[in-house]
Structures are given as structure tokens and as C-alpha cells.
Amino acid sequence: MADHGDDEDTLATPVIVDTGQFGTTDRDKAPLIQMHSLWKTYGMGASTVQALQEVDLTITAGEYVAIMGQSGSGKSTLMHILGCLDVPSSGRFLLDGHNVQDLDDTELAAIRNERIGFVFQQFHLLTRLSARRNVELPLGYAGVTSKRERSDRAMSALDAVGLADRADHRPSELSGGQQQRVAIARALVTEPAIILADEPTGNLSREQSTEVLALLDALWAGGRTVILITHDPGVAAHAGRQVRVQDGRVIGEGAAE
Ligand SMILES: Nc1ncnc2c1ncn2[C@@H]1O[C@H](COP(=O)(O)OP(=O)(O)O)[C@@H](O)[C@H]1O
Ligand SMILES: [Mg+2]
């Protein structure tokens, strides 16, 4: 684990590691993500919720996909499965051809750490750490032992989101838009192939949203697969492809009519 010593917050955000052999330019290959007849059930008995039902979804490396749907439609459940944070109740989920259900927790964590950068609505920054130290965290988890290297890489990630000059600020000293940009820097510092963003603009003003979406657009243009989860058609329009979900089912593709 990282030696982030004095912080007592728990890191709700999954952490990301160097993509190594996978790189970020593996477009035009076999589907990155294949879901076949996926179901997710929460609870038991009378309180059972079918959060996902018969979901079929294929995403190719390099796509920019928006998963769209109203609150409660199953978007976050789908994101958790896509991000290997949770497993489906039934059906098949292949990531890079690996059947995720066959992997144990350690293997799941490794895939998650190597391949995926997460961005959440609530930012999930550690309040007691500076922006730079927040961005360094995933590198610690990835086993980058050199302090100097962690610091340099965090600074370049912060530079990429336009916040190098705020590196020493804590989250409370930053605007919501800036906090989300720090979270994006943290997601990209290990160069994951996939960026999974769940309502990344949900807590932001219009202007801040524009900046955050421009960054996601740039990450996609740089070769990453971007999966953007949103209830907002204007946000979804940034993606080249929109997948609509309702009541746990994929009901169609394309912008909402
Ligand atoms: N941990 C959970 N336990 C029980 N029900 C859940 C849990 N997480 C989500 N749900 C239910 O599953 C459905 C889909 O939720 P969610 O995936 O969060 O939707 P969205 O992100 O689109 O708002 C909702 O009915 C929600 O109440
Ligand atoms: Mg949600």
C-alpha cells in the first residue's frame, strides 16, 4: 500500500496502475467489453431488485460511449460491473476476452488497477491531502516506490488538467470543477486504457461541466476508451455512441428522442 501516512480517510476510489503491455492505442482489435445476457439482482425475497436484466453490450477499444438513463435505471450498477468493482448475478462479462467471473479477487483487482481509471460524481478526493498527493496515490498502490517519480508523474497529470499551479492546495481550497479535474488527473496518472466516468458533471456548474467534458473528450482523442455514464442528454452528446438504459435493460442506441 501507499505510504500516505497521516490520512485517515478511506479511499473509496478504486486505484489504477500502469497499463504496461496494454497501452492506450489498442483500437481495431477484438471487443474490449462483451456482455451477454447479464443480470444483476440485489437483495433477496420480497426486497429483490433486478437492477440489470438481460443486458447485451459490446464496446470496442477506442470507443467513446455514453450510458444514458434516468435515476434508478441501473447505470451505476452497470458501471460497477464494467469497472470490475462488482460481479453480475448471471450472464457473461468478458473484458479483453477474459471471463471476469472466472477471476478471483486478486485478479479482478489487478485488472481494475491496470486497465481502468475511475471518475465519480462526488470526486472522492482525500480531504487532508494536497491535490498532488491525491494524484500520487494510485502510483503508490501500483508500487511506484520512488517519491520523486510519483511526484513528477502527479505533476504532469495535474499539468494535463490545467492545475499544476494548484498542486499544493487541498480539495477544500478548490472549486468543484477543479476538484473533479484533480480526480481526472488521478484517474489518468497511471495511463489506463479505459476511463469510466459516472455522472462526472453531476455536481458541477455548466461552466465547470464544460471544462470537465473537454478533458474527457481529450482523453478519448488521445486513444483511451471512454465510458461516460449520465442522465443528461447534453452530456451524452459528447460521446460518439449513446446506449440507453431503462429499468435495468438496454432499450436502444442513439440520442433520446
Ligand atoms: N446495493 C444495492 N442494494 C439494493 N438495491 C440497489 C443497490 N444498488 C442499487 N440498487 C437498486 O438498483 C436499481 C439501479 O440502481 P443504480 O444502478 O444505482 O441506478 P442509477 O445509477 O441509474 O441511478 C435501483 O432500483 C436501486 O435502488
Ligand atoms: Mg447512478
Lowest mean pLDDT among 28-37, 140-149, 196-205, 238-247: 28-37
Going by pLDDT thresholds of 50, 70 and 90, the confidence category of residue 22 is very low
Q: Tell me, using a 6 A CB cutoff, whether residue 209 lines ligand 1.
A: no
Q: Tell me, using a 6 A CB cutoff, whether residue 75 lines ligand 1.
A: yes
**Closest ligand 1 atom to Cα of 79:** 17
Distance from Cα 164 to the centre of ligand 2, integer Å: 31
Is 62-85+104-253 a CATH 3.40.50.300 domain?
yes
pLDDT, the chain, mean: 88
Question: Residue for cell digits 469497472?
Answer: 83
Rounded to two decimals, what is the model's pTM? 0.86
Please report the beta strands in 63-138, taking only residues with DSSP state E, as ranges in sequence order.
64-68, 90-95, 98-99, 116-120
Distance from Cα 148 to the centre of ligand 2, integer Å: 37
Residue to probe by mutation, ligand 1, list 38, 41, 42, most atoms within 8 Å of CB = 42
Contact 153, 17 (CB under 8 A): no
The answer on pLDDT for 16 being more than 70 is no
Q: Tell me, using a 6 A CB cutoff, whether residue 121 lines ligand 1.
A: no
Q: pLDDT of 28-41, one tens digit each? A: 556 999 999 999 99
Going by pLDDT thresholds of 50, 70 and 90, the confidence category of residue 256 is low
Residue to probe by mutation, ligand 1, list 49, 85, 86, most atoms within 8 Å of CB = 49
Protein residue with least CA distance to atom 2, ligand 1: 42
β partners of residue 35: 57, 93
Distance from Cα 120 to the centre of ligand 2, integer Å: 10
Calpha distance 64→238 (Å, rounded):
8
Residue 29 confidence (pLDDT): 59
- In single-letter form, the type of residue at position 35 comes to M
Going by pLDDT thresholds of 50, 70 and 90, the confidence category of residue 207 is very high
**Closest ligand 1 atom to Cα of 231:** 22
Going by pLDDT thresholds of 50, 70 and 90, the confidence category of residue 18 is very low
Distance from Cα 34 to the centre of ligand 1, integer Å: 22
Residue 83 confidence (pLDDT): 94
Residue 129 confidence (pLDDT): 98
Contact 186, 135 (CB under 8 A): yes
Kindly identify the ligand whose nearest atom is closest to the C-alpha of 199: 2
Q: Tell me, using a 6 A CB cutoff, whether residue 81 lines ligand 1.
A: no
Calpha distance 184→149 (Å, rounded):
19
- Residue 28 — left, alpha, or beta (φ > 0 → left; ψ -120 to 50 → alpha)? left
Residue 3 confidence (pLDDT): 45
Q: Which residue has the higher pLDDT, 220 or 22?
A: 220
Q: Tell me, using a 6 A CB cutoff, whether residue 49 lines ligand 1.
A: yes
The answer on pLDDT for 254 being more than 80 is yes
β partners of residue 40: 52
Which has the closest alpha carbon to 187: 219, 149, 164, 232?
Answer: 219
Q: pLDDT of 50-102, one tens digit each? A: 999 999 999 999 999 999 999 999 999 999 999 999 999 999 999 988 898 88
pLDDT average, residue stretch 153-165: 97
| All structural domains of the chain with their residue ranges | 62-85+104-253
Q: Tell me, using a 6 A CB cutoff, whether residue 47 lines ligand 1.
A: no
Q: pLDDT of 125-144, one tens digit each? A: 999 999 999 999 999 888 89
Calpha distance 222→76 (Å, rounded):
25
Distance from Cα 117 to the centre of ligand 2, integer Å: 17
Q: Tell me, using a 6 A CB cutoff, whether residue 230 lines ligand 1.
A: no
Q: pLDDT of 98-118, one tens digit each? A: 898 888 888 888 888 889 999
Percent of the chain as helix, strand, coil, to the nearest 5: 35, 25, 40
